[in-house]
Amino acid sequence: MVVEQRGLEPAPAGASPQRRRRIGLVSLVVLLAVAAVLSLVIGARSLTPAEVWQGLFGDPGTDQRLTEITLIVQTLRVPRTVLAIVAGLALGVAGALIQGHTRNPIADTGLLGVNSGASFAVVLAVYLLGLQNPIQYLWFAFIGAAGAGVLVFGLSSLGRGSGNPLTLALAGQGVTVFLAAMTTAVALSDKQTLDVLRYWNAGSVQGVGWDVIVVAAIFVAAGLILALLNLPTINLLNLGDDVARGLGVNIAAGRTIGVVAVTLLAGAATAACGPIAFLGLMVAHVARWFTGPDYRWLVPYAGLLGAGVLLVGDIAGRLVVRPAELQAGIVIAIIGAPFFAALVWLGKFRQA
């Protein structure tokens, strides 16, 4: 007699990869939490976890030492930690999205002209209006990033190659070069503008207040919602336009939603902390090694990796030239450039 023992039945073939991906996501969340704690502990003045706890939740009263710790933790380290997570998450997701929509494995958020559009808007705001406060030129940076994205998408929709990923890449490169030249021309004509641009272009999560972080987080949240809703469409678009169209996908609408999501994500992150080069490109490839081409998994992985890498880069920047600091954007560029070269040398670019 054969007795059916359902508890001993072998797991379906697809269960193991899914389980590994879930474990990977949980592991990334744990590592990100550890990095966030280290970000609160490490700095020009190192604090113990107990001191950080006191700085977060304790009442300093009249104790001068506890008052100083509270000021360091709540005013300096918590905002930069939150901004690093928000901006890194946004840039990681945006990098994966732009590679998926363009089917270009070396695409990053700069491809849509987002970085150059934000830089040009900041330069104009400082040069024409004399703005100095980050919350003042945040809006100009975001408008510039969004305007550049709309311009690139509009140019790529003209002519016989409309909607083609190659046309989108070429239009983005043309707009990027033009805006970079205009930014340089304006900045070189005014010392004050050049000073602001020099600091902003380095890409830093330091010294940004909650007023900037809250505004950026709202735009990032909107971009993440659009990105998550668009993930099944990206998977189908990567089968080819003809196949996707045959499966009932509205290609123009799908790419429009994707471009809007990338513009919101990359525009908000760039406006808040300046351009961070290579981050989206780098983490999208690392995520693809773990998840394969399924964007339902790749995008969450890329987002968590982006947040973790930017946070670790910011921590490293506090240590390498201590007691001074190196901006996170510079650290990420130092890491990202060799990473990019290694991908080319090893021929490891996987099709997006």
pLDDT tens by residue, 48-107: 888 888 888 877 777 788 888 888 898 989 999 999 999 999 999 999 998 888 777 777
User: Residues 153, 154, 155, 161: is their CA dihedral positive or negative?
Assistant: positive
Enumerate residues 6+ apart whose C-beta is below 8 A from 101: 165, 168, 234, 237, 255, 258, 259, 262
DSSP letter string, 252-273: HHHHHHHHHHHHHHHHHHHHHH
Q: Are 82 and 111 in contact (CB under 8 A)?
A: no
Has residue 135 been placed in a domain?
yes
Q: Which of 13-17, 59-63, 170-174 has the lowest mean pLDDT?
A: 13-17
Residue 16 placed within a domain: no
Is residue 148 assigned to a domain? yes
Reported as a single tens digit per residue, the pLDDT across 174-215 is 898 999 899 989 888 888 888 888 877 888 898 888 988 999
Residue 291 burial by Cβ neighbours in a 10 Å radius (0-12, 13-18, 19+): buried
Using the structure block, give the residue that is written with the tokens 């003045």.
45
Cα-Cα-Cα-Cα torsion 44, 205, 300, 35, nearest 10 degrees, comes to: 10
> Total structural domains in the chain?
1
Note the pLDDT of residue 92. 95
Q: Which is nearest to 172 in space by CA: 70, 263, 59?
A: 263
Cis previous bond, 17, omega within 30: no
How far apart CA 205 and CA 49 sit, in angstroms, is 22
Domain for residue 17, yes or no? no
pLDDT category, 13, cuts 50, 70, 90?
very low
> Is 4 domain-assigned?
no
Q: Is residue 352 part of a domain?
A: no
Please write the tens of the pLDDT for every residue from 298-316. Answer: 999 999 999 999 999 999 9
pTM of the predicted protein model = 0.86
Please give the angle made by the CA atoms of 94, 233 and 168, to the nearest 5 degrees.
Answer: 55
- The residue behind tokens 């010392």 is 191
**Residue 339 confidence (pLDDT):** 79
Which of 119, 48, 345, 93 lies closest to 225 in space, CA to CA? 93
First and final CA of the chain: distance in angstroms? 53
| Token pair listed for 152 | 């690139």
CA atoms of 203 and 80, how far apart (whole Å): 12
Q: Is the confidence at residue 345, as pLDDT, over 80? A: no
- How far apart are alpha carbons 267 and 139 in whole angstroms? 10
Is 340 contained in some domain?
A: yes
DSSP line for 33-67: HHHHHHHHH-SSS---HHHHHHHHH---TT-HHHH
Could you tell me the residue range of the domain that residue 328 belongs to? 37-346
The residue type of 348 is: K
CA separation for the pair 315, 335 (Å, rounded): 14
In a domain, 28, yes or no: no
Average pLDDT over residues 34-60: 87
CA angle at residue 13 from 12 to 16, to 5 degrees? 95
- Report the CATH number at residue 335: 1.10.3470.10
Measured in residues, the chain has a length of 352
Widest distance between CA atoms in the chain:
91
Q: How confident is the model at residue 12 (pLDDT cuts 50, 70, 90)?
A: very low
Provide the pLDDT for residue 83: 96
